[in-house]
Amino acid sequence: MLSKQQALDFLAESVKHGPHQVVADEERKGQQDFLTSASEMLPAEVEPEGAKEVLEKAGVEFLGPADDELFQLVRLPAGWKRVASGHPWLSMLIDDQDRERARIFYKPNHYQRVASLILAPRFGIHESCHDTSQLESEAEYLAYVTDGGVVTDCGKTLHVTEVAELEGDRLQRYRITRQLIKQARVWLDENYPDWMDSFAYWED
């Protein structure tokens, strides 16, 4: 709950800059403070069940609660880091091979502060669309599979689909993109049948 002074400060900033901008600034600062904190921290809430043991096996040391009850102190293995994702609520835990090991959700707003860590599956599917002209209807599209990049394009590219030209109306273009995503999923199903399981393949 806000103190009377915090409520007055928020009201004053909202009048000056608008409430949406104040909230956005609060989220951006909260995420930056988390990523640049002197102490290595991760959210106290770790999902799914068993994820903490997976991270411990990978070398993450859990040292106990932080001063902020939303977080716990940790010691990350050499080369591991927490990085921004471009979204004000989301950052990532990246290992020494540039693979995304977990997604970190942190909403730092004064009216709702929540944080959690969700273990990431090892493989991710991404899309790439390159405009071949200034006309929106002319573009090249492909899908590709990465080892260790689910939210963002990090890790190593393992498989790339054929390149298709996006043509026709919005529905036709959508069908083309979904077909290439399906190709990527089929490749993963054939080579890594449990690829959607966040516990699978990390020890390979």
- Rounded to whole angstroms, how far apart are CA atoms 106 and 90? 6
Residues 13 and 75 in one domain: yes
- Structural domain harbouring 32: 4-119
pLDDT at 37: 80
Of 10-24, 51-65, 115-129, 190-204, the range with the highest mean pLDDT is 51-65
In the chain, the number of structural domains is: 2
What is the β-pairing status of strands 46-47 and 112-119?
parallel
Q: In the numeric block, which tokens belong to residue 190?
A: 């054939």
Q: Residue 34 is inside which H or E element, if any?
A: helix 19-35
Alpha helices in 110-200 (DSSP H): 170-191
Q: In the numeric block, which tokens belong to residue 8?
A: 């007055």
Domain limit, last residue, from 96, 119, 142? 119
Residue 52, pLDDT > 80, answer: yes
Taking phi first (over 0 means left), then psi (-120 to 50 degrees means alpha), and beta for anything else, what does residue 64 get? left
Residue 19, pLDDT > 80, answer: no
Residues 28 and 92 in one domain: yes
Residue 38, pLDDT > 80, answer: no
pLDDT grade for 166, boundaries at 50, 70 and 90: confident
Domain limit, last residue, from 80, 98, 119? 119
Residues 85 and 135 in one domain: no
Taking the model in full, what pTM does it have?
0.75
Output the CA torsion sign for 104, 82, 87, 2. positive
CA angle 139, 140, 145 (to 5 degrees): 140
Residues 150 and 88 in one domain: no
- Considering only residues 130 and 67, tell me which one the structure prediction assigns the higher pLDDT: 67
Q: Report pLDDT digits (tens) over 77-129.
A: 999 999 988 778 889 999 998 889 999 998 877 777 899 999 999 998 888 87
DSSP code of residue 89: T
- Rounded to whole angstroms, how far apart are CA atoms 37 and 148? 25
Q: Residue 166 is inside which H or E element, if any?
A: strand 164-166
Residues 134 and 114 in one domain: no
Residues 82 and 98 in one domain: yes
- Rounded to whole angstroms, how far apart are CA atoms 200 and 40? 26
Q: In the numeric block, which tokens belong to residue 138?
A: 């002319």
List, in sequence order, every beta strand (DSSP E) within 59-121.
Answer: 61-65, 71-75, 81-84, 90-94, 100-109, 112-119
Q: Report pLDDT digits (tens) over 173-196.
A: 888 889 989 999 999 999 999 999
- Rounded to whole angstroms, how far apart are CA atoms 178 and 181? 5
Residues 95 and 135 in one domain: no
